[in-house]
Amino acid sequence: MVSPIYLIVIPLAVAFFISFFDRLGRGLSLTLFYAGLIALTAISGSWLLSTVTGIIGSEGAIGGQLSQAAGTLVFTAGLEPPLSIALAMGPQEAFFLFFANLAGLGAAVVLGRRMAAESVTAMVLFLMVMLGAQGLVMTLDLFNLFVFLEISSIATYSLIALERSRGSMSAGFKYIIAGGIASALFLIGTIYLYRIAGSLAIADIIAAQPAAAGMAGVTAVFLLTAALLIELKPFPANGWALDVYQSVQSGVVSVIAVVNSAAVLFALYKVFPMLPAPLTNALLWIGITTFFASNLIGLRQSSVKRMLGYSSSAQIGLLISVLALSAMYGWSGRLQVIVFASIFFGHIFSKAGLFWLTEVQEERGWKGWSGPRAAGGVLLLAVFIAALAGLPPFPTFWAKWVLVKSIILQQPLVVAMLLLGSLCEAVYLLRWFGRTVHLRRTAAASWNTPARIALPAAAAAILLTVGGVIAGLAADVEPLMFLPLAAGLVLGLLVWLPSRLQGFIAAALVTAAGALFIPQMQGMASVFALVFYGGGLLMLIATLYKRQDSPGFYPLFAALVLSLGSLIQATGLLEFFLAWEIMTFSSYFLILLGREAEKPALNYATFSVGGAFVLMSGMALMAAVLPPEIFQGSLIAAQVSAEPLLAAAPGIIGQGRDVFAVAPNGFLGGLAFTLIAIGFLTKIGAAGLHIWLPDAYAEANDDVTPLLSAVLSKAGIFGLMLFVLLFPAALFSWFNLPFVLRWVGVLTAFFGTLMAVFEEDIKRVFAYSSMGQLGYIVLAVGLLNQLGWTTALYLTVIHLLFKGMLFLTATAVIDRTGTRQMYRMGGLIKNMPISFISALIAIIALSGVPPLAGFGGKWLLYNALTANNYVLLAAVAFFSSTIAFLYLFRFIYTVFLGQLKIEHRRVREAPAALLLPQVVFILALMAVSMFPNLLIQPLQSALAMFPADAGWQNGTMVSSIGYWNGSAVMWITMSVFILMLLWLLFVQRKPQPVSQFNIVFAAERPERPETTHYGYNFFAPYRKALGFLVTPLAGRFWHRIAEVTGSIGGAARRIYTGNGQTYALHILLFVTILYFLIAR
Amino acid sequence: MSTDINKEDTQTQQESIRQVVEAMGEYPGAADASDPQLFCEARPKVEKPFRGVFEKFLNWARANSLWVLGFGTGCGAIELRPLMTSRFDASRFGVAGRPTPRQSSVFIIGGYASVKTLKRIVRSYEQMQNPKFVIALGSCTINGGMYWDSYNTINRIDQYIPVDVYITGCMPRPEAILAGFVKLQELIKAGRGEKANEYAEHFDWYKANQKKVIKDWDMPDYNW
Amino acid sequence: METSLVLKIAYAALSLFIAFNYGILLGATTYRIRARVQGRLGIRLYQPYLDIIKNNAKRTSISHGIMFYLGPIFRITGGVGTFLFIPMIYGSVVFSNFSFAGDVLLVLYFIFFGQLGMALGAGEGGHPYSAIGVSRGLAQMTAFEVPFTLAIIALAVQHNTLSITEIIAAQQGGILNWSLFTNPAATAAALIAFLGMNMGNPFSVVTAPQEIPIGPPVEYHSNYLGLLQTNRSIFNSAKLILFMNLFFGGATNLIVMIIKTFLIYMITVIIGVAFPRFRVEQSIRFFLVVPTLIGLVGLVIALW
Amino acid sequence: MNTSYQYSYTNIEELLEILVEKGFIAPATEQQHATVIGRRQVQSSDLAFVTVAPEAARHLILDLRDRFGFTHLVLLTAVDYIEEGKFLLTYLLHNYELHHDIGVQVPIGREAAEAGASMESIHDLWAQAGTYQRELKEMFGIDFPGSPRVDEPFILEGWDEVPPMRREFDTKQYSETTYFPRPGRSTNDPADYMRQKLYPKE
């Protein structure tokens, strides 16, 4: 094992000799430079390997006390401290150093061209920065800490100033001011501490407990902490750092933001044990405020680099608060590893990667940042942004989950700030990403990623992914849960294949997964599994109609479908949430593939991420308030161990159990369930939370929307039903949640349906229609009895059938006519007869007209409602269901009937790939219509946990108040229909087939199809009468919220004046105020 | 509240209409009448009546269910209104008004017919279904009446469409019109109400006459 | 007491025949009554038969396409089906139709079957007036269904059943047991909705002969029109019988049925001759305010 | 008294005087035929006619509209003076404050140029003038270059004869050759009839 001393020696030596070698040739010096950096990385890597395996070897599993367990101590010059520099190398040090060095190495590669072009000083300074970082991490001595801090600082601002631009000079100077203040404070603090402890060794000082030694000790510790804190750029004393981030080249920034910050953070970590409790507490709040405020301000940033700077600042703040939290609650071992290490790891690589990627276009604001040309570059960008935003499978995701779960009861405010800050961060990152994708598509100048950037960035991305998966596995997540991601990855690697072939592979994957998992399911779970896998597969087949390639489409599609399956597979809250998040982001990226989808996708992401955070906090709270015997062990242990109740989830569903007999858990349980319900309702698009829905559905690609509506939207329903079964007691423990749920459901149905009536865009019509239909399902779920839940499941299945048909028809029509405006179509029945039949059957089913299966849903719903005296609900639901006629007729009339436009004469029938799933849906629908018991009886038996409230007699379904024989209705209707048809055929002489203008037109002849087709604003009188109901109140509300958030961010940003004096003042004020707060 | 909505509504409507108009570019004018996808080009056929008692029964039903096309082609239309009033009550005879030629069986030419109206008369007549009957009111339909020398008013309607019953006068009173209806009923019952077939038989002659005066013939030859 | 399927079909055909003729004679009678009010004699009682024969005897017809052709068939299937799902005479095996197939919800939704099919057929006719008529009709329908639904839910809650037969059964034993008296508000709401359902004045804007010739069926003629006329009489009977069953105690024999339905029909006739026509948005607002409030009162009565 | 316009006047004579005074129209000439430029005629206390040259007409009409308050174009019509080889166009304008009408009459040559009679369009002054001009184009063949849709048929669909309101067009002859006159038609001119009845001997 190489002695850690070489980590100090190598950079020193290389820095010393490099200028000599430079005389001999730049090639030589560059070789030496990179060799030195590689050596640093290799040494720290070998230490990481050995310490970690040492721990594993010694204790068998990660989980013991990590510090110094398998490390080593090194004393320079062979002397004991204080005469020598004492260096420690343990697993933590190795971890920090290895990844910091790796990031540094990457940065050096990225900066390669500059290193080659500029004077050798740059290399020297770079090495000195690295040297400072090594020292900061390893040293055990306070004074040495100071020395390395100084080395690091001086090297850094020299490096900054080396750019010789006005901005960088000024930034370097601001850095010097801040650094100077920090150094002064540090030195004073050190002096005091030496006075108290009589030693400069950190361990001695900690042992001396300076904080307990009166005010002087506290002050000393405070000064020390404040110095380190300033270096870590807390809000609001971080203006100087942001200027640095903005004005310095990205490669250098990546070093400052990643290597330096990591080292200083580690230094803070080392002195943490000597901190008094109030200071720890203060650090928690400083950290989380920095996180929240920086992200809030980040919303208003236009410069990409400055935006990333805010993000860096925020992440460091988060790390500080995590340090404080782990000190406050005495976290150690796995918890600390998962939370702190994961955030740290995720932060350095995602941030470094982003800074590297921005290097080429660093002067642009995000609005003009057109992104890499190669698809791989976009993928890298996506990985870094996802990692930073805390999406799975990246490390931050696990960390946030565990963090929230651990502190939700103790520190709800911190959780709130954490989640809100994360939401802001996700919004501005995804906004940037969306714009990039959009600009790239609209053929604005995008750039090639040079290999010197692409290689390190790719390495970072791989590291992030691997690290994330490892972290996930460490959190005891079943490997199976990574299946969607793996499938996406595999298909992503096959991106060079022809698009159709990819589609077939994806279909094969989904089929295999379905064939494998569906038989394992039972009860309700199998219903949803059938919907998810079966519906997903059919939608996947439908996408094969596309003629042009769309890279990334099938990987995302497959990941999305499989993640829906994973939702059912999940055996723990974390696994459920993992699948949920995979579903969310894969659908976000899918939506983003749409041509005009930049804004809608952002809206979708905002609501989805927000909803997911609400869901997460609800789940965390739920896990926290459940009785300990259900979640074995302490709260802290609960986050990683598999929750036993949830482990049985798929089993519970389908097995008889009186689910509402559990005692209530009080307010917190109710609150938790409410949060969970809000999370699901966001996905469902319940009234008020729906504003993302129409745009996202409309602007997503035409082959994605059917999946979103017919399949994806059921995820929320599944979640809702699952959690009702899991935590039934929480339903009533705060307020009557089912009551609210029912009304939310019926109002969603009403407003969704009504809004659909007034839309011109075919996809928006069905988007609102989906919203309305899901409203009925939510209403049915809220009934909490067997008939109600049968209704919910029945509607879930039927909605898949008819909405799948409708959206596929819409896709076909849009594909063939090239427009989404219904009034521009018309008369397509003769050109697209099969699509027409599909649409016809679908609208009959959707509207609930017998004899098709849609009526079953209506019958079940009204029976369930009326039997329980929910008369108002029934009335509103009925009103909504009649309103549905309006948009349905309007759709089928305006598109298929009426006047064919001249330019649509050559329109052909939909492609076979689109028709095939429709035919399957039609057959399924007709089968269910002929024999309703085929579907309803299995559903009823799946819901055996409820007391049975409807039975069957010879094919007649009998509820407590009504009865219905679907087969008989079908037979009677068919017979009458055929009789009447025969009669007409008998009495009528052969009718003359005529053309579209052979109409009675008040004795005139129609002029043009456009002026003869009554299609635009079809329900004008209805709008006059009820249009006031669709005033976009919810939209305005959310828009106002976004505006206010943005203005607060903008206002907060004003404190950063760009003036060095002001920044110095900020720092001093920050320290002073902090001091008074602590000392009080 | 509601007025605001309406106003907003109108504005958005106008905006959308503007967009549509812009998208259409210059208004392209009427579509081509000889386009077989727009207009059916089939000629009318002679539809043979049934024979014997059955046809007599049907004719009786037809005669007693005269649905009049509500199309006032001239000043005589004003004489039709009183027919439905309590004084004359044509519904006793099975006469009823019908707003569309598709559902009507009797076409009343209400007096003078300008060339422009003639075009609409022909179109409406052809859109009625066989069997169909025509009653022509007043001198104008017989010989041009007071418009006999007008450059724009035809003189004899029977040159253009077949007429079952003429009712003279300028204008004939409702009593006369009722008498005309009774006459028509007699004709139908006698099996002589086959003018629709006559029209189909002499289609070319009628069409030539029509086209002689209707110069911008932007319809198909037969309006189904 | 199981009746064989063949017998059931024969019975249903019989009651259908009765309903058809009754509907036609009812229509002619009300026409004559209306004519008498205006000082006329009006049509002959058998005039509607002649009209139907005449239309079926038309020698030519045109077709705009399959859906246009099937539209009237959908319509009459809807009418006949609706009739067949309603028991005509309470307690009679012969006139119980196929009411075993479903409850009042089925009838409620089956009414839409014909309307939807008709609207589609009219839509393929390609005539803008058809579409305008359908637009108005659907818009108005959504509105009058609200009070109607409220009334039916009130009845269902009140009698704790959705089965029409059981609702009739609950009203037996005296005139005061009729829903008309046990729940007058629900009855009133339903009757106002009935006016809209019949599309007579003041809710006749759908077919508005003066503006948009006759709305949806503007392109229908000849045999199609014959079917539609046939349907009208059957459907009218069906609706009347439904209302009689739900609100007026049903009927135990044909004569009672005829008297009751005739009187119910006279309500719409009288209101029809006395009122002018609403515009669509006016009738929507009207239905959603006055009868809906009455219907809510009916609900309160039912729950209380 | 109209006050909101540049020139105020109280009666129609005063108006004409102002028009002459300001040089809008030529001084009065003898009472002459309507087609003679410079003719002025006060028909009644609220109606007057002036005849102006085609070149001056538009200017005068614009001034009447903007300076005298004749904001309404009541009609635009033409009379065929075939004997003089002229059409007389009449622009009738109305003043809403005083309720006066003034008819601006413009004689134009029937066949002024090869293209036939022509006159400057005023559709930009009153949009509805375009409709009148279409009608004049169809009925008289008077062209108004630049007027919207002026060449499209107005009420006669597909008319391909001489414009029917021109006096050289023989409507009776046209009707006889075109509209299948029913033979045996007799005319009873009331004058003849009465003469024969009263004075059968003559």
Give contacts of C 246-285 with A, CB under 8 A: 279-282, 284-285
Residue A709 lies in a domain: yes
Give the bridge partners for A957, in sequence order. Answer: A952, A964
CB distance A655 to A636 below 8 Å: no
Give contacts of B 67-96 with D, CB under 8 A: none
pLDDT in tens, A278-296: 888 888 999 999 999 989 8
C193 touching A (Cβ < 8 Å):
no
Report CA-CA distances (Å) from A626 to A149, A667, A908, C78, D132.
47, 12, 59, 55, 86
pLDDT in tens, A444-496: 566 777 778 888 888 888 888 888 888 888 777 778 888 888 888 888 888 88
Split into its structural domains, chain C has a count of 1
* Tally of residues, chain B: 224
**Which residues of chain A does B104 touch, with a Cβ-Cβ cutoff of 8 Å?**
none
Q: Which of A876, A897, A932 is the last residue of a domain?
A: A932
Q: Which of D160, D164, D180 sits opposite B159 (nearest CB)?
A: D180
Residue B28 has pLDDT above 80, yes or no: no
Give contacts of B 51-90 with C, CB under 8 A: 58, 61-62, 64-65, 67, 85-86, 89
| Domain ranges, ordered by start, for chain D | 12-198
Beta strand B165-167 with B133-137 is parallel
Evaluate the omega torsion of the peptide bond into residue A236 and state whether it is cis, within 30 degrees of 0.
Answer: yes
CB distance A248 to A163 below 8 Å: yes
CA distance C189 to C286: 12
Q: For B96, which DSSP code?
A: E
Q: What are phi and psi of C227, to 5 degrees?
A: -60, -45
Chains that contact B by 3+ CB pairs under 8 Å?
A, C, D
A997 touching B (Cβ < 8 Å):
yes
pLDDT of residue A33: 87
**Which residues of chain A does B36 touch, with a Cβ-Cβ cutoff of 8 Å?**
995
Q: Which chain B residue has its CA at the smallest distance from D170's CA?
A: B151
Number of H helices, E strands in chain B: 8, 5
- Distance of residue A808 Cα from the nearest chain C Cα, in angstroms: 20
C120 touching A (Cβ < 8 Å):
yes
Amino acid identity of residue B59, one-letter, is N
For an interface test with D, which of B121, B122, B152, B216 has the most D Cβ atoms less than 10 Å from its Cβ? B152
CB distance A356 to A107 below 8 Å: yes
Residue A188 lies in a domain: no
Give the bridge partners for B133, in sequence order. Answer: B106
Report CA-CA distances (Å) from A965 to A792, C82, C277.
20, 15, 40
Residue A828 has pLDDT above 80, yes or no: yes
Q: For A213, which DSSP code?
A: S
Residue D86 has pLDDT above 70, yes or no: yes
Least Cα distance to A14 among A3, A2, A6 occurs for: A6
For an interface test with C, which of B1, B102, B188 has the most C Cβ atoms less than 10 Å from its Cβ? B102
Helix H, strand E, coil C: the string for A734-769 is CCCHHHHHHHHHHHHHHHHHHHHHCCCEHHHHHHHH
CB distance C14 to C100 below 8 Å: no
Q: Which of C35, C42, C213 sits opposite B100 (nearest CB)?
A: C213
Edge-first strand order for the sheet with D47-51 is: D40-44, D47-51, D100-109, D86-95, D72-81
C209 touching B (Cβ < 8 Å):
yes
Tokens of D111: 């066949």
pLDDT of residue B60: 94
Which CATH code is given to the segment(s) D12-198? 3.30.460.80
> Mapping DSSP to helix (H, G, I), strand (E, B) and coil, where does residue A241 land?
helix
- Distance of residue B124 Cα from the nearest chain A Cα, in angstroms: 6
> Binning pLDDT at 50, 70 and 90, where does residue A659 land?
very low
CA distance C120 to D179: 45
A1028 touching B (Cβ < 8 Å):
yes
Least Cα distance to A205 among A275, A280, A267 occurs for: A275
CA distance C242 to C248: 9
Q: How far is CA A302 from the centre of its chain?
A: 22
* Tally of residues, chain D: 202
For an interface test with C, which of B62, B65, B184, B199 has the most C Cβ atoms less than 10 Å from its Cβ? B65
pLDDT of residue D111: 75
pLDDT in tens, A519-551: 877 777 888 888 999 999 999 898 888 877 777
B130 touching C (Cβ < 8 Å):
yes
Least Cα distance to A842 among A919, A790, A774, A784 occurs for: A919
C177 touching B (Cβ < 8 Å):
no
N-terminal to C-terminal alpha carbon distance within chain B: 48
CA distance A492 to D65: 75
- Distance of residue A495 Cα from the nearest chain C Cα, in angstroms: 45
Give contacts of B 204-223 with A, CB under 8 A: 218-219, 223
A987 touching B (Cβ < 8 Å):
no
Q: What are phi and psi of B223, to 5 degrees?
A: -90, 100
Per-residue pLDDT tens, chain C, 304 aa: give them. 466 888 888 999 999 999 999 999 999 998 898 888 888 998 999 999 999 999 999 999 999 999 999 999 999 999 999 999 999 888 888 888 888 888 899 998 998 898 888 889 989 988 888 888 888 888 888 899 899 999 999 998 888 888 998 899 988 888 888 988 899 999 999 999 998 888 877 888 776 655 556 778 888 988 999 999 999 999 999 999 999 999 998 888 889 999 999 999 998 888 888 888 888 888 899 999 999 999 999 988 888 7
pLDDT of residue A652: 40
CB distance A259 to A107 below 8 Å: yes
C62 touching A (Cβ < 8 Å):
yes
- Distance of residue C226 Cα from the nearest chain B Cα, in angstroms: 10
| Contact flag B142-D182 (C-beta cutoff 8 Å) | yes
Q: Which chain A residue has its CA at the smallest distance from B101's CA?
A: A1000
Give the bridge partners for A782, in sequence order. Answer: none
Answer whether B touches C (≥3 Cβ pairs < 8 Å).
yes
Ordered domains of chain B (ranges, CATH): 67-213 (3.40.50.12280)
| Contact flag B31-A902 (C-beta cutoff 8 Å) | yes
Give strand ranges (E) for chain C. Answer: 62-63
pLDDT greater at residue A339 or residue A1023 = A1023
| Contact flag A874-C149 (C-beta cutoff 8 Å) | yes
Q: Which chain B residue has its CA at the smallest distance from A824's CA?
A: B20
Least Cα distance to A677 among A635, A626, A734, A625 occurs for: A734
Report CA-CA distances (Å) from A384 to A387, A393, A481, B49.
5, 12, 21, 83
Q: Which of B64, B103, B130 sits opposite C59 (nearest CB)?
A: B130
Residue A676 lies in a domain: yes
Amino acid identity of residue C103, one-letter, is D
Give contacts of B 148-167 with C, CB under 8 A: none
pLDDT in tens, A409-442: 888 899 999 999 999 999 999 988 888 888 877 7
pLDDT of residue A80: 62
C103 CB-near residues (< 8 Å, 6+ apart):
A961, A962, A963, A964, C161, C162, C163, C164
Q: Which chain A residue has its CA at the smallest distance from B120's CA?
A: A1003
Helix H, strand E, coil C: the string for chain D is CCCCCCCCCCCHHHHHHHHHHCCCCCCCCCCCCCCCCCCEEEEECCEEEEECCHHHHHHHHHHHHHHCCCCEEEEEEEEEECCCCEEEEEEEEEECCCCEEEEEEEEEECCCECCECECCCCCCCCCCHHHHHHHHHHHHCCECCCCCCCCCCCCCCCCCCCCCCCCCCCHHHHHHHHCCCCCCCCCCCHHHHHHHHHCCCC
CA distance A815 to A545: 10
Chains that contact A by 3+ CB pairs under 8 Å?
B, C
Q: Which chain B residue has its CA at the smallest distance from A994's CA?
A: B40
Give contacts of C 132-171 with A, CB under 8 A: 132, 134-136, 138-139, 141-143, 145-146, 149-150, 153-154, 156-157, 160-163
> Can you give the pTM of this predicted structure?
0.89
Domain range for residue A97? 1-139
Domain range for residue C234? 5-303
| Contact flag D179-B142 (C-beta cutoff 8 Å) | no
Split into its structural domains, chain A has a count of 2
Answer whether B touches A (≥3 Cβ pairs < 8 Å).
yes
Q: Is the ipTM of this complex over 0.90?
A: no
| Contact flag B9-A989 (C-beta cutoff 8 Å) | no
Least Cα distance to D185 among B68, B145, B127 occurs for: B145
CA distance C173 to C250: 11
For an interface test with A, which of C9, C105, C166 has the most A Cβ atoms less than 10 Å from its Cβ? C105
CA distance A730 to A751: 28
CA distance B175 to B198: 29
> Mapping DSSP to helix (H, G, I), strand (E, B) and coil, where does residue A365 land?
strand
| Contact flag B215-D159 (C-beta cutoff 8 Å) | yes
**Which residues of chain C does B99 touch, with a Cβ-Cβ cutoff of 8 Å?**
209-210, 213-214, 218
Q: Which of A992, A1016, A1023 sits opposite B40 (nearest CB)?
A: A992
- Label residue B6 exposed, middle or buried (CB < 10 Å: 0-12, 13-18, 19+): middle
Average pLDDT of the residues of chain A = 83
CA distance A235 to A289: 7
| Contact flag A850-C102 (C-beta cutoff 8 Å) | yes
Residue A885 lies in a domain: yes
B28 touching A (Cβ < 8 Å):
yes
